[in-house]
Structure 1
Amino acid sequence: MTAASGRTGRPPLTEERKAEIRLEIAQAAVDLFVGQGVAATTGEQIGRAVGVSARTVWRYFPSKESCVRPLFEAGIEQIAATLRAWRPGRPLEDVLVRAVPADSRLVTGPDRATLGALVRLTRDEPGLRAVWLQTYDEAEPAFARALAERAGVPADELAPTVQAAMFNAALRAAIEHYAWRIEGESADATTAEAELTATLRSALALVAAGLA
């Protein structure tokens, strides 16, 4: 009678560790894209920066451009939670900006300077542009559900759907406006933070005011 054979080799990765690896790959990809351009960056370089193989990179992402998705996606649920907690009478821009500390990176994961550089790359890099727009497209239903929950109505009603579309577009427009505006500037982190916060406030105030 032989002993039952057990599993050998490395234990499977936890979902938490997989998420960490995705973020590590994303940050490495962003640093390389910003530093040397998308075309000059390879999967091997991204993997080497993280300490994994190119095969591992492709296991998590279908293309090098898609490696940045975790950074574009960061904060979506946090923003949705803030929308659900938004109470009548409180300005939307105050609720959203104050709910997220300045150093928690409201919309994406990199620091402000890297965020601006990455978003500027989406102007001329079709692959990155597609990922950027797809992320916001996928965020919109989450925002609609949050606004519907806040209003106590079904998520498929027209009002929260339109409101989510306006809110989502305002976020993207504000970040792009910020990125285009600071191009070539050497502002310190505090100034960049203030600039982004002011831009977000202005955009969200316009949304709250509607199209009167």
Structure 2
Amino acid sequence: MTERRRNATRMEIADEAVRLFVLQGVTATTAEDIASAAGVSTRTLWRYFRSKEECVRPLLAAGIELATERLRAYWRGDGSFAHAISSFDDPGTVAAQPIEALRDLVRLSREEPGLRAVWLESHFDAEEVFAGVIAEGTGRSAHDLTVRLEAGMLNAALRVAVEDWAGQPANPQGPPLGETLAAALLLVAQLFETGSAEIPAGGRMLRLPAIGPAATGDSPVRRITD
């Protein structure tokens, strides 16, 4: 089985898991139910996932991978940080994601500890990925405190934005996911554009370098609102 087919199978399992969790509840849904709905054997399901709740992880990974691609493209020089942010509001980009399943999953994670654990663990893993992207783009170590703080800000902005979007009524008049993500990241960009900041850290001063276009005088706030 090719890697593409394996990824497709994992996503099919994730879609069916969320559908069944919404339809009959997490407790009442078994791994056998999910495997049957996805057209795979229970043995195959356990080969991919550690628990029935873990089956939803591909839905979360897809969004994190999208964010990583946009951020890495910015540091490769393919566009400004503002452009990376505005790309989250691209209808074509967001349309390619399993939007309604993601909304249902994030809503369920509020009440279901098992799903909440998967949601938070996914973002815990994402923070390390974002730190790697920032370090790669700025020539610093992924273990630097400032890099980890910057990655944490990006990660928190994305997580809170998705949770806020999922909590809104699902109707055409509601704010789309891409717009919500772009607005949250714009707030982060406003922090990055200020250049460097000094904060006290255990009796010494810690300088936080700007990771965005501010270092060259290119304001992401101006660029995105022009």
- TM-score interval (norm. to shorter): 0.7 to 0.9
Moved more, 169-178 or 151-160: 151-160
Indicate the residue corresponding to 1:154 in structure 2. 141
More relative contact order, 1 or 2 (CA 8 Å, 6+ apart): 1
Query: What per-residue deviation string (whole Å, max 9, x for no partner) do you get for residues 178-208 of structure 1?
Result: 11122xx4x13xx45x432332122112212
What is the aligned counterpart of 1:40 among 9, 28, 31? 28
Identify the residue that residue 203 of structure 2 maps to in structure 1.
Answer: none
Alpha-carbon distance between aligned partners in 1 of 2:156 and 2:38, rounded to the nearest angstrom: 33
- The more displaced of 42-51 and 171-180 is 42-51
Moved more, 42-51 or 62-71: 42-51
Is contact 1:47–1:54 with CA below 8 Å preserved after alignment? Answer: yes
Deviates more, 1:162-171 or 1:17-26: 17-26
Query: Which residue in the other structure is 1:4 paired with?
Result: none
Q: Deviations over 1:50-78 (max 9, x none)?
A: 21222221222121100001111114333
**Amino acid paired to 2:184:** A
Structure 2 Cα separation of the partners of residues 63 and 100 of structure 1: 34
Alignment RMSD (CA, Å): 2.6
With over 3 angstroms needed to count, the CA separation of the structure-2 counterparts of 1:109 and 1:41, relative to structure 1, is farther
2:199 maps to 1:205? no
- Tell me how far apart the structure 1 counterparts of residues 179 and 97 of structure 2 sit (CA, whole Å): 19
Q: Does 1:55 align with 2:36?
A: no
Aligned to 2:91: 102
Q: Could you tell me which amino acid in structure 2 is paired with residue 206 of structure 1?
A: L
CA separation of 1:142 and 1:115: change in aligned 2, threshold 3 A: same
| Alignment CA distance shift 1:34-1:104 (3 Å) | farther
TM-score (norm 2): 0.74
Q: Which runs of 5+ in 2 are unaligned?
A: 195-226
Equivalent-residue separation in structure 1 for 2:89 and 2:139 (angstroms): 24
TM-score by length of 1: 0.79
Ranges in structure 1 where 5+ consecutive residues have no aligned partner? 1-12
Residues 44-83 of structure 1: matches in 2 within 5 Å? Answer: 44-83=32-71
> Which has the higher mean CA deviation after the structures are superposed, 58-67 or 163-172?
58-67
Greater per-residue strand proportion: 2
The AA in structure 2 aligned to 1:52 is V
Percent identical across equivalent pairs? Answer: 47
Q: CA deviation at 1:14?
A: 3.0
Report the Cα distance in structure 2 between the residues aligned to 1:36 and 1:97, rounded to whole angstroms.
Answer: 38
Runs of 4+ displaced beyond 6 Å: none
Report how far residue 109 of structure 1 moved. Answer: 4.2
Residues in 2 aligned to 1:132 and 1:155: alpha-carbon distance in whole angstroms: 23
The aligned length equals 191
